[in-house]
Amino acid sequence: MPEIVSAGPDLGEADLRAFEAPIPRGVNLDQATPLGVVTEHAGGFGGRPGIVGARPDGSAWSPRFAVDEMHLAGDHEVQFVLSDQIAGLGLELRFHLEHTLTMSATLTNRGDTTYTVQRLAPSLPLPSHAEDLLTFSGRWCREFQPQRSSFEGLTVVENRRGRTSHQRVPAIFAGSSGFSEQSGEVFGVQLAWSGNFEIAAEALPDGRRHVQAGELLSPGEVVLDPGDSYRAPDLVVAWSGQGLTGASQRFHQVVRSTATAGTERKVVCNTWEAVYFNHDLVTLQALADAAAAVGVERFVLDDGWFGGRRDDNAGLGDWWVSEAVWPTGLAPIIDHVTARGMDFGLWVEPEMVNPDSDLYRAHPEWTLTTAGYEPILGRHQLVLDLGRTEVRDLLFGALHELVDEYDIAYLKWDMNRDIVQGSHHGHAGAHGHVLGVYELIDRMRSAHPGLEIESCASGGGRADLGILRRTERIWTSDCNDAVERQSIQRGFSMLFPPEVMGAHIGPERAHTTRRRQDLGFRAATALFGHFGIEWNLLSASEADRAELASAVAVHKRLRPLLHRGRVVRVDHPDPAAIVHGVVSGDGSHAVFAYVQLTPSSSMVPLSCRLAGLDPDRTYHVTVIEGIDCLEPHGREQPAWIEQGTTATGAQLVHRGIQPPAMHPESVLLMELVAS
Ligand code: GLA
């Protein structure tokens, strides 16, 4: 079994004898017990095995592989073909190293009976100075909340909700003691998978430690017939010698290198919080007019346009345009939208069915439920079994017809409940469902090149590198409250780049928290992401609309930088404020935000250091105009706020810049241009 001797910087050619561990006195096994890429109990490894499974008679439960072949594929990839002749198993390992390391493992049953896979989870060994962990917790409307702990014993992050989930994120960071955004050595591991998962950080009593990640499989969920294979989800590993921000930047490069990258992220107007289920052509046309007038480029018609979907009790599964609300079809609204230079997007939730729907009445057997048990509903709906070909075919037909008939540039693909006791022909079906979703999306994409897709699951419940290989955007959270968004988006940015981070300006009073915030603060919060509006503009004042138009214009001007540059989250000593920015690849242009969330304990705000700039360049620093988000207070503010200033990158990185005294919920937005 191949072993990773060192993870981290490129150390060049090495004589491996320098790193060989002794076999000390007192251990009870007479040889070294390697921590392989797939850890093997059969090799004496005493921690969590990376492969667990068995044949019907219980045999082959503890394989030990040997390398048959090794191939170099280009400059960046190495592949190993392994087998265990006794167990009748083959294993292929692939390592692709470019910005990040992608580790792939595929297990093949070469025996003549079935092989049940319970776990196939590769490991990344870590140095013993990786003493701290960062994982994520969360909930609906509060996704991506980082959690710190020490790397001791066994930490397992487990998700059994059938989708990526709000509660756990398939990602972990391990790093040197007290690592921060700019300091410490940091290793990040993400699992490219949108279903159940388990990520373990294990520190062994012998001093070794590793992070192991794979799909969480239920008993009997993956049973390989002779000749069949199981491909484990890829692990994507990022390393940084200069803190968490550096590891995030590497993860961002991964998303930026996928097929979906590079498209201009259009400013969106989404109808959900504007009208909810009250679809009415005249109102929506007026909303589209108002959206176009402030500079919106894409109008997305949310839930409520189809079947019997007048509220969330009915209609999912019936993907035809409702004559009750759209008597002449969607053409009148789409034509209206496109005539104003915007493109049109449509909300769908293809994986779901309401018991009150024609689809369910015709095919109750198509759901992910278990025969004989009363199913648990979620938002009055059930999950369809996308492991079934006939279900995928039906959904493809329905979606294809819509996108074919209408001028639809974008689908908001929602998934609003967990999978509970979901069986596919009697056995656990979450694995097959996720593969089915991937296949359906891929099929839609190849039938409709150029169609963009947003991944939504009641907000950020399906955000991972697996879904991001086939979608352009994540709906980060159903929460549009800008204070909440500051922390949600900061957590999100640890894993994914801003151009895939759906960020909308909501109404003054947030629907999910009932808190009120100024338009400037809401705009400065949404500015960095895939920007949009989710607000009934028909009730907005003329002044608000003018302010909104100005914010949209600022976003459009800065978007090439914001969506291609390096994201920097700055270590800032004041817990009342957070600082983040984006620096262009060549270091010549940057935008930073000093966000005053709550009142600071000091009278004068602490100096704000701007990490990530080129120390050798000289920058002209100005406050960005066009977004009214700065609420200074006090007698006199620093002169540079009005006049701008000039400083070297080294000065800004080490000494920092002085923010004015600010009220909470206001933002100092700075633009830096190198001379
Ligand atoms: C989910 C989404 C929302 C909206 C509603 C529609 O909650 O996250 O943005 O689309 O569904 O029902």
For residues 465, 469, 472 and 477, what is the CA-based torsion angle, rounded to 10 degrees? Answer: -20
**Contact indicator for 43, 1 with CB cutoff of 8 Å:** yes
Quick check: is 57 catalytic? no
Domain boundary residue, one of 236, 256, 276: 256
Residue among 272, 417, 462 whose CB has most ligand 1 atoms within 8 A, to mutate: 272
Backbone angles phi, psi at 396, to 5 degrees: -60, -45
Residue 314 lies in a domain: no
Q: Is 456 in the pocket of ligand 1 (CB under 6 A)?
A: yes
Residue 73 pairs in a beta bridge with 77
What is the C-alpha separation between 183 and 187, in angstroms, rounded? 12
Out of 414, 418, 481, 574, the active site residue is 414
Q: 333: buried, middle or exposed (CB in 10 Å: 19+, 13-18, 0-12)?
A: buried
Residue 649 lies in a domain: yes
Q: Is 302 in the pocket of ligand 1 (CB under 6 A)?
A: yes
Q: Is 125 in the pocket of ligand 1 (CB under 6 A)?
A: no
Name residues of the chain where pLDDT drops below 50. Answer: none
Ligand 1 geometric centre to CA of 581 (Å): 29
Residue 355 lies in a domain: no
Collapsed DSSP state (helix, strand, coil) of residue 494: coil
What is the C-alpha separation between 5 and 126, in angstroms, rounded? 9
Residue 477 lies in a domain: no
Range of the domain at 593: 567-674
In this predicted structure, what is the pLDDT of residue 272? 98
In this predicted structure, what is the pLDDT of residue 483? 98
Ramachandran sector of residue 88 (left: φ over 0; alpha: ψ -120 to 50; beta: rest)? left
In this predicted structure, what is the pLDDT of residue 26? 78
Residue 325 lies in a domain: no
Closest protein CA for atom 4 of ligand 1: 272
CB-based burial, 620-637: b 16+ in 10 Å, e otherwise: ebbbbebbbbbbbeeeeb
In this predicted structure, what is the pLDDT of residue 305? 98
Ligand 1 geometric centre to CA of 473 (Å): 15
Domain count, the chain: 2
What is the C-alpha separation between 335 and 288, in angstroms, rounded? 11
We report the CATH number of the domain holding residue 636 as: 2.60.40.1180
In this predicted structure, what is the pLDDT of residue 27? 77
Q: Which atom of ligand 1 is nearest to the CA of 302?
A: 10
Closest protein CA for atom 9 of ligand 1: 478
**Residue 154 DSSP class:** E
Q: Is 534 in the pocket of ligand 1 (CB under 6 A)?
A: no
Closest protein CA for atom 6 of ligand 1: 303
Ligand 1 geometric centre to CA of 459 (Å): 7
**β-strands 618-623, 645-648 pairing:** antiparallel
**Contact indicator for 92, 81 with CB cutoff of 8 Å:** yes
Domain boundary residue, one of 197, 230, 256: 256
| Strand locations in 85-185 (E) | 89-98, 100-109, 115-120, 123-126, 132-139, 142-150, 154-159, 171-175
259-306: pLDDT as tens digits = 778 778 999 999 999 999 999 999 999 999 999 999 999 999 999 999
In this predicted structure, what is the pLDDT of residue 424? 98
In this predicted structure, what is the pLDDT of residue 261? 81
Closest protein CA for atom 3 of ligand 1: 458
We report the CATH number of the domain holding residue 60 as: 2.70.98.60
Q: Is 268 in the pocket of ligand 1 (CB under 6 A)?
A: no
Out of 303, 478, 481, 574, the active site residue is 478
Q: Is 416 in the pocket of ligand 1 (CB under 6 A)?
A: yes
What is the C-alpha separation between 366 and 546, in angstroms, rounded? 50
Residue 305 lies in a domain: no
Quick check: is 478 catalytic? yes
Tokens of 286: 């007026």
Q: Is 454 in the pocket of ligand 1 (CB under 6 A)?
A: no
Q: Is 248 in the pocket of ligand 1 (CB under 6 A)?
A: no
In this predicted structure, what is the pLDDT of residue 334? 98
334-385: pLDDT as tens digits = 999 999 999 999 999 999 999 999 999 999 999 999 999 999 999 999 999 9
Name the residue among 269, 416, 444, 448 with its Cα closest to residue 343: 269
Ligand 1 geometric centre to CA of 501 (Å): 16
Neighbour order of strands in the sheet with 197-203: 123-126, 209-215, 197-203, 154-159
Ligand 1 geometric centre to CA of 456 (Å): 8
**Contact indicator for 402, 408 with CB cutoff of 8 Å:** yes
**Residue 608 DSSP class:** B
In this predicted structure, what is the pLDDT of residue 260? 75
**Interhelix angle for 542-562 vs 519-526, to 10°?**
20
Residue 224 lies in a domain: yes
**Residue 12 DSSP class:** -
Q: Is 345 in the pocket of ligand 1 (CB under 6 A)?
A: no
CB atoms within 10 A of CB 573: 9
Tokens of 647: 């400083």
Domain boundary residue, one of 256, 278, 313: 256
Q: Is 303 in the pocket of ligand 1 (CB under 6 A)?
A: yes
**Contact indicator for 300, 270 with CB cutoff of 8 Å:** yes
**Contact indicator for 350, 440 with CB cutoff of 8 Å:** yes
